[in-house]
Amino acid sequence: MPSDPQVQLLLTGNEIMSGDTVDSNSAMIALRLADIGLGVYRKVTVGDDSALLREELEAMAGQADTVIVNGGLGPTVDDLTAEVLAAAAGVGLVEHPEALAHLEDWCARRNLPLNAANRKQALLPAGARVIPNPVGSAVGFELALGDCRVICTPGVPGELRRMLDTIVDELGRSLARTAQRHILRLQTFGLGESTAQQMISDALPDWPAAVELGFRAGAPQMEIKLAVTDAADLPQRDRCERQLRQLFGDHIIGEGDTQLAARVLELLQARGETLTTAESCTGGLIASMLTRIPGSSAGFHAGFVTYANDIKTAVLGVQQTTLATHGAVSEQVVREMALGALERSGADYAIAVSGIAGPEGGTEDKPVGTVWLAWGSVDKLQTACLLWPVERGLFQTVVAAAALDMVRRRLLGIASEPRYFSQRRAR
Amino acid sequence: MPSDPQVQLLLTGNEIMSGDTVDSNSAMIALRLADIGLGVYRKVTVGDDSALLREELEAMAGQADTVIVNGGLGPTVDDLTAEVLAAAAGVGLVEHPEALAHLEDWCARRNLPLNAANRKQALLPAGARVIPNPVGSAVGFELALGDCRVICTPGVPGELRRMLDTIVDELGRSLARTAQRHILRLQTFGLGESTAQQMISDALPDWPAAVELGFRAGAPQMEIKLAVTDAADLPQRDRCERQLRQLFGDHIIGEGDTQLAARVLELLQARGETLTTAESCTGGLIASMLTRIPGSSAGFHAGFVTYANDIKTAVLGVQQTTLATHGAVSEQVVREMALGALERSGADYAIAVSGIAGPEGGTEDKPVGTVWLAWGSVDKLQTACLLWPVERGLFQTVVAAAALDMVRRRLLGIASEPRYFSQRRAR
């Protein structure tokens, strides 16, 4: 079994260097390489500067088995890839009949003349092999530079995507094996990265070296990744997984890309039940998180954004006296919001949220970051008051997620409180 | 006037190497450096591998005047930046009192214990200078490596953004010159990048070389940037701005970071009026975009997410016969949704949206991407049917933005139709 080739990426383009364009191409390439078990060792990005580009290309080709170059294949003067690769290989640029035929066809189908700028895209290093571009005008190409295989790809994401089908397929076949990194991803909510790391260090001091552990803290979820390179280490990974599941228990939402909203909808659908939302400080975000999921209409029919007090009364039937006595951010009000939403929507479960997102509106008694949640059914409505004193947008995101997490726990029959309650509970 | 320092970026993180995360931090850094007239010469990205990280850091420090390292400051074992910089500098890691005080304060404000994993974030290379982090737990730091200034920053975008205020300010002052790019940013909605570029090429062939033109296409807005380096060229920039305003007219939402939702709320507040939302396919996203803006409660009191047909009837009073005759995605239904929302909320203006977000639910007559919008007041309700056949999440985003854009145009008294109507109008 041959060892993995070392792959490096070389990206070129002034627009990615200046920050005017965010590079998503290298992520696309890395994800596709991961499908055939290849990692990217190193990535270098430079502007449209032929001397620097050549220097980086030569350095990379001296280290790596495969270099994928992205960008610089277009028709304009700042597209330098073919010229630089030819110079590095000590060959000339020649018009490739296959590339020219592609260009002629591409122009003809668009009723465009083949102008000089376009024709430049048929000039490739002598000896290069053409990689077809099913969507754009510029073909890709491949050439050996010493022992290194250099593959040049277009910067337009839609063209790159299609060309990667060919490239990844060929690379996979040339590896002539099925070796692949075995990755398991667990999605969690309510654990910080440092808390998770500390819990693992404390509880599992003998973590095996073969099992790579990674964390990705997003808002609102955190991903824990377990990876092994050798299939023989899978039993070790499985043991680690069982240990993590014991350690983090009901903070684990699911595997892969599972999102809280999708998990809640899945649990609802399995029971043929529905959820409604009554939102004040989250302002429609919970409804939006739910409806972003395809097929959400099975479990979610109605949501209410009652941002003003009189709307809480008019739309959800919250008593004016309740608002006057306890204030809009109170247990009594979120209870009445939830009950009003349940009655008006006919849903089985409700989430109600009222809090102070800031930056204005806090008081000594109820500072910015205070939020009351109610969740559950007409029979059993639960409530909690939490304190999350963070920036407005993040507050809305974590509160919306916490509300969905409460419903997830309820639907799963989890009785214990989440860890974050002990830290966040305000009263 | 000293010459520009050469700046290089070193990014670290398995999640960006694997493609699981698209790196937007380096674009943020480059854009901020551009504000003080600095370009980025070269950018290298590696995973959480201390040997490789050290090799790259030492090579960069040998070439560049300033290296900005991004990522690897967190509390977990895969956060290696401090350790690697210390090793490269030949110094130890020591607990910095300033960093520790920050961590203690950060934990105290969140009612969290300061655990060992967090405490790791106070271990910095001896002699490093702390850069405050106003939002997160990990401070940044700076240390000289030979003649090179190495600045280490956190990978969390919200933390990096705030820390760059300090860093860019200091770098600008240390350049000891006032050279600074004079940048004007215009936010637009409803123009594609290539359309905008073509319109400018056609209408303004004599664009002055001194005025740099840049585009940044986001979803849903596109930013157009005009920059000059020399203040003497400001009159030229002003002339370009006037020409662009003429060319793109009412597609320009505002300057700087102005968002559609913020602009709509600003226009409402100036008139003391309010807006309500009745959402089907956007599922709460419009309400969420509005309530994400601080102070939105002045112009937005109530929103309705009526995802199911019977909820459109029960909550907004849409006639069952209207639904049966015309279907949920129809002009008649969005009209009745808007009128129902106006009546129930007492708002001055309404937005109503009903469409097919996909991936399921399309028909030959109403394919995925079809959406009916209604907007306006009881006196004057306008409608349009558009077709935006894109992925579900993007569909929701552009439709929500188009709906807000319609209200913006209405509040500004713009009678002409936006350009995208001619391309997107379905009937």
pLDDT in tens, A43-97: 999 998 999 999 999 999 999 999 999 999 877 767 899 999 999 999 999 999 9
| Strand order across the A7-12 sheet | A129-131, A140-145, A148-153, A66-70, A7-12, A40-46, B40-46, B7-12, B66-70, B148-153, B140-145, B129-131
The reply to whether domains A7-175 and A182-255 share a CATH topology is no
Residue A304 to chain B, least CA–CA distance (Å)? 5
- Residue B142's CB is within 10 A of a number of other CB atoms, namely 21
For chains A and B, CB pairs below 8 A equal 282
Mean pLDDT computed over A149-175 = 89
- With a cut of 90, say whether residue B285 has pLDDT above it: yes
Of residues A197, A303, A360, nearest to B284 (C-beta): A303
Q: Are B7 and B40 in contact (CB under 8 A)?
A: yes
The DSSP line for B331-362 is HHHHHHHHHHHHHHH--SEEEEEEE--SSS--
- With a cut of 80, say whether residue A172 has pLDDT above it: yes
% of chain B residues with pLDDT over 90: 70
Instruction: Indicate the range of B47-51, B214-218, B257-261 predicted with least confidence.
Output: B214-218
Q: What CA–CA distance (Å, rounded) separates B216 from A216?
A: 27
Backbone phi, then psi, for A46, in 5-degree steps? -135, 165
pLDDT tens digits, residue range B16-27?
998 888 899 999
CA nearest neighbour of B284 among B265, B305, B302, B301: B305
Q: Are A250 and A418 in contact (CB under 8 A)?
A: yes
- With a cut of 60, say whether residue A2 has pLDDT above it: no
Residue B307 to chain A, least CA–CA distance (Å)? 5
CB pair distance less than 8 Å for A198 and B116: yes
Q: Which residues neighbour B364 within 8 Å (Cβ) at sequence distance 6 or greater? A: none
Of residues B17, B292, B302, nearest to A305 (C-beta): B302
- With a cut of 60, say whether residue B45 has pLDDT above it: yes
pLDDT at A117: 72
**Which residues of chain B make contact with A283, given a CB cutoff of 8 A?**
287-288, 290-292, 296, 300, 303
Q: Are B280 and A276 in contact (CB under 8 A)?
A: no
Q: Which fold is adopted by the domain A7-175? A: Molybdenum Cofactor Biosythetic Enzyme; Chain A (3.40.980)
- With a cut of 60, say whether residue B2 has pLDDT above it: no
The DSSP line for A351-380 is EEEEE--SSS---SSS-TTEEEEEEE-SS-
CB pair distance less than 8 Å for B158 and A394: yes
Average pLDDT over all residues of chain A: 91
Q: Which residues neighbour B208 within 8 Å (Cβ) at sequence distance 6 or greater? A: B233, B236, B240
**Which residues of chain A make contact with B56, given a CB cutoff of 8 A?**
42
CB pair distance less than 8 Å for B302 and A315: yes
- With a cut of 60, say whether residue A179 has pLDDT above it: no
- Residue B184's CB is within 10 A of a number of other CB atoms, namely 18
- With a cut of 50, say whether residue A1 has pLDDT above it: no
**Which residues of chain B make contact with A192, given a CB cutoff of 8 A?**
112
Q: Are B33 and B39 in contact (CB under 8 A)?
A: yes
pLDDT tens digits, residue range B332-360?
999 999 999 999 999 999 999 999 998 88
Q: What CA–CA distance (Å, rounded) separates B204 from B243?
A: 8
User: Angle at the Cα of B250 (from B210 to B388), degrees rounded to 5?
Assistant: 105
Q: Which fold is adopted by the domain B7-174? A: Molybdenum Cofactor Biosythetic Enzyme; Chain A (3.40.980)
Instruction: Indicate the range of A127-131, B190-194, B290-294 predicted with least confidence.
Output: B190-194
CA nearest neighbour of A68 among A14, A22, A30: A30
Cis preceding linkage at A220, omega within 30: yes
> pTM for the full model?
0.78
% of chain B residues with pLDDT over 70: 97
% of chain A residues with pLDDT over 90: 69
pLDDT at B52: 95
Of residues B118, B301, B303, nearest to A284 (C-beta): B303
Q: Are B336 and B316 in contact (CB under 8 A)?
A: yes
pLDDT at A178: 46
Of residues A47, A197, A288, nearest to B77 (C-beta): A197
Mutate to test the interface with A, among B103, B183, B301, B351 (most CBs of A within 10 A): B301
**Which residues of chain B make contact with A197, given a CB cutoff of 8 A?**
75-77, 117
Residue of A nearest to B136 (CA): A390
CB pair distance less than 8 Å for A17 and B28: no
Residue A70 to chain B, least CA–CA distance (Å)? 14
Q: Which fold is adopted by the domain A182-255? A: Alpha-Beta Plaits (3.30.70)
- CA B248 → CA B130, B254, B419, distances in Å? 46, 12, 9
pLDDT grade for A266, boundaries at 50, 70 and 90: very high
Q: What CA–CA distance (Å, rounded) separates A124 from B422?
A: 41
Q: What CA–CA distance (Å, rounded) separates B208 from B188?
A: 22
Strands A349-355 and A275-279: parallel
**Which residues of chain A make contact with B18, given a CB cutoff of 8 A?**
30-31, 34, 39-40
- Domain boundary assignment for chain B: 7-174, 182-255, 260-424
Backbone phi, then psi, for A131, in 5-degree steps? -110, 120
CA nearest neighbour of A156 among A136, A176, A172: A136
* Token reading at B32: 């901020």
pLDDT grade for A118, boundaries at 50, 70 and 90: confident
Beta bridge partners of A127: none
pLDDT at B178: 46
Q: Which residues neighbour B417 within 8 Å (Cβ) at sequence distance 6 or greater? A: none
- Residue A51's CB is within 10 A of a number of other CB atoms, namely 10
pLDDT tens digits, residue range A324-337?
999 999 999 999 99
Mutate to test the interface with B, among A38, A48, A194 (most CBs of B within 10 A): A194
Residue of A nearest to B356 (CA): A294
Q: Which CATH class is domain A260-424?
A: alpha beta
**Which residues of chain A make contact with B311, given a CB cutoff of 8 A?**
301-302, 345
Identify the three-state secondary structure at position A88: helix
Of residues B42, B110, B214, nearest to A20 (C-beta): B214
Q: What CA–CA distance (Å, rounded) separates B99 from B122?
A: 5
